[in-house]
Chains A and B, each alone.
Chain A
Amino acid sequence: MSEPTEFTLAEARDAVRAKKISSADLTKAFLSAVESARALNAFVTETPERALDMAKESDARIARDEARPLEGLPLAIKDLFCTKGVRTTAGSHILGNFVPPYESTVTQNLWDAGAVMLGKTNMDEFAMGSSNETSHFKPVINPWRARNSNQNLVPGGSSGGSAAAVSGSLCLAATGTDTGGSIRQPAAVAGIVGMKPTYGRCSRWGIVAFASSLDQAGPMTRTVRDAAILLRHMASVDEKDSTSVDLPVPDYEATLGSGVKGLRIGIPTEYRIDGAPPEIDALWAKGAEWLKAQGAEIIEVSLPHTKYALPAYYIVAPAEASSNLARYDGVRYGHRAAGTQDLTELYEKSRAEGFGPEVRRRILIGTYVLSAGYYDAYYLRAQKIRTLIKRDFEQAFEACDVLLTPATPGPAFALGEKSNNPISMYLNDVFTVTVNLAGLPAISVPAGLTANGLPLGLQIIGKAFDEATVLRAGRSIEVAANFSAKPQKWWTA
């Protein structure tokens, strides 16, 4: 038997169910891995006592033959999901001491399925970032390093702690959220699988809101099978989120191995960008060859408005964020500035002290584009462009079943490398953000290494609510890529 911390979620599920390992022993193995990996800074809050209590309960259920689908399986939870009685910070100073009196629907679904919580993972502040460097709790370090280098790299973002925790074998799987690429981009640069389901598939209730029309929760895992398993138990219709959809959640795992024979794979011309490293294009071409060799048909398609997606996103997302983050007022919860004389000063100082620079910048952009006289020129125009982007996808999907694209424009980069130029940081999401604007499902699958040994991912984009086909195609990429590289555990030295 391999090290329990190296199990996939599926392997651990089968081993626990077959009583080859107890949930308590599995949980202890992960808690010890978490403890010895503090150099990665993947967790904001570790919850070992709760984990052991949950594992004990799971072992009792297994002994009674009452195991639930994820019984006894230790997971990490992005610190954007409210967890009852466990501090939830959203990576922000303003929520640094917030202890929710309620549980998010997604995490409640996971606990109801028997999963065990190891702790809350670090993230960019309010999920605003692509490198985890905007976290109030210091950046996360990517478990991966370039060959013959000891330079620390970013794990991507915003779900950087979850990506590092899965990649570094600190948990079986983790939850993430994706507003412009925050699951798929860190997954790609940390060598793991990350999936954003269709908007509405998972309830947003109890997830600290960033941009409500874009935010969606999803799984971050070691394999495509694990993503299929976890997504099924995260997704649900929820009367507490009117945008959650009332559709049956299929058994994604059951159809995973159906292959891509006869499937039409679209290659969007506009995703070839000037200045992209040749390794990205080469991997993309290889991905198309892999799928073709398994019987898929490769078709060139056009998504003409692609280049406008990122700038449209940087109107829509900050606008929604400026509204959502208006709730942090220093009165009801969160940080409150000391020594203020009146209510306006209390608001202004609490928010200035509580929000970091990137969040302040986005709130100001959002406030500006929504302010009187500018609404039509910015926000309304961006929402019209969103319609055009969605229409592009609908037209492409008349000719194909899924799309294949690179996941990121490059591998993990060094800390500080892009933090002085917001736009160069924003460009990390150039291949992922279109999907959020159109509300579609997409998965990033590790597919290869750069010449200096850093992971790269390929992305499959599907039709709305067709996660099953996305997972099937993702599985076909996974089989062909046979990606088995793992980061050296330099952090335990």
Chain B
Amino acid sequence: MSVDKATVRRIAKLARIALPEERVEPMMGELNGILGWIEQLQEVNVEGVEPMTSVVAQELRMRDDVVTTGGDAAAIVANAPRSEDNFFVVPKVLE
């Protein structure tokens, strides 16, 4: 399997990474290089094999469903590039 230019544009859109038009073709080449190399996995017989879903076999622990933290609005927005009154500020979404 390989990707064409339209697919590269589509996945860049899905990933929310701006990709200037002149970078589409080089990126297509880079991705196809990697995808071509990965292709060898198709030769493995995986019939009846369960996919790995947890690395180490263990029961997921449950914790009590209680509030343990909170009231830290100032700390939460401290790293925000723009904030006002403990809200994150973004460009206008609705006109």
Contact = CB atoms under 8 A, between A and B. Distances in A.
Interface in B43-95: 44, 46, 49-56, 58, 60-61, 63, 72, 75-82, 88, 90-93
B11 interface: yes
A361 B82 contact: no
A355 interface: yes
Nearest to B77: A332
Contacts of B77: 332
Main SS class of interface, A: helix
Most chain A CB atoms below 10 A, which of B18, B35, B46: B18
Contacts of A333: 79-81
A101 B72 contact: yes
A257 B16 CA distance: 53
A352 B50 contact: no
Contacts of A340: 91
Contacts of A305: 44
Interface stretch (A15-23, A133-141, A154-162, A310-318): A310-318
A242 B61 contact: yes
Contact of B79 (A332, A351, A364): A332
B53 A99 contact: no
Nearest to B89: A331
Contacts of A364: 8, 11-12, 15, 17, 27, 31
B56 A361 contact: no
Interface residues of A, number: 70
Main SS class of interface, B: loop
Given A311-B40, A330-B81, A385-B46, A243 B90 contact: no
A308 B11 contact: no
Contacts of B8: 364
Interface string A364-390: 110110010010011011111111101
B55 A380 contact: no
Contacts of A390: 52
A245 B56 contact: yes
B86 to A, nearest CB: 12
B63 A239 contact: yes
B41 A199 contact: no
A336 B82 contact: yes
A122 interface: no
A384 B78 contact: no
A351 B16 contact: yes
Contacts of B61: 239, 242, 246
B22 interface: no
Contact of A308 (B14, B40, B91, B92): B40
A364 B1 CA distance: 15
Contact of B18 (A200, A312, A348): A348
B41 A382 contact: yes
B21 interface: no
A352 B18 contact: yes
Given A368-B7, A368-B11, A200 B41 contact: no
Contacts of B35: 365, 368
A383 B52 CA distance: 5
29 contacts: A97-B79, A199-B55, A200-B58, A242-B60, A242-B61, A243-B56, A245-B56, A311-B37, A322-B15, A330-B81, A332-B88, A341-B91, A343-B90, A346-B90, A351-B17, A352-B19, A361-B27, A361-B30, A368-B31, A377-B1, A378-B38, A384-B49, A385-B41, A387-B51, A422-B30, A422-B34, A423-B34, A439-B55, A464-B56
Interface of A: 97-99, 101, 198-200, 213-214, 239, 242-243, 245-246, 305, 307-308, 311-312, 314-315, 322, 326, 329-336, 340-349, 351-352, 355, 360-361, 363-365, 367-368, 371, 374, 377-378, 380-388, 390, 422-423, 438-439, 464
Given A346-B91, A387-B49, A423-B37, 19 more contacts: A101-B72, A199-B56, A200-B56, A242-B61, A311-B38, A322-B15, A334-B79, A345-B18, A348-B17, A351-B18, A352-B19, A364-B15, A368-B31, A374-B1, A378-B38, A386-B51, A422-B33, A423-B34, A438-B55
Interface of B: 1, 3, 7-8, 11-12, 14-19, 27, 30-31, 33-35, 37-38, 40-42, 44, 46, 49-56, 58, 60-61, 63, 72, 75-82, 88, 90-93
Which 9 A-B residue pairings sit nearest by Cβ, starting from the closest?
A383-B51, A333-B79, A336-B81, A439-B55, A352-B18, A348-B18, A101-B75, A384-B46, A386-B52
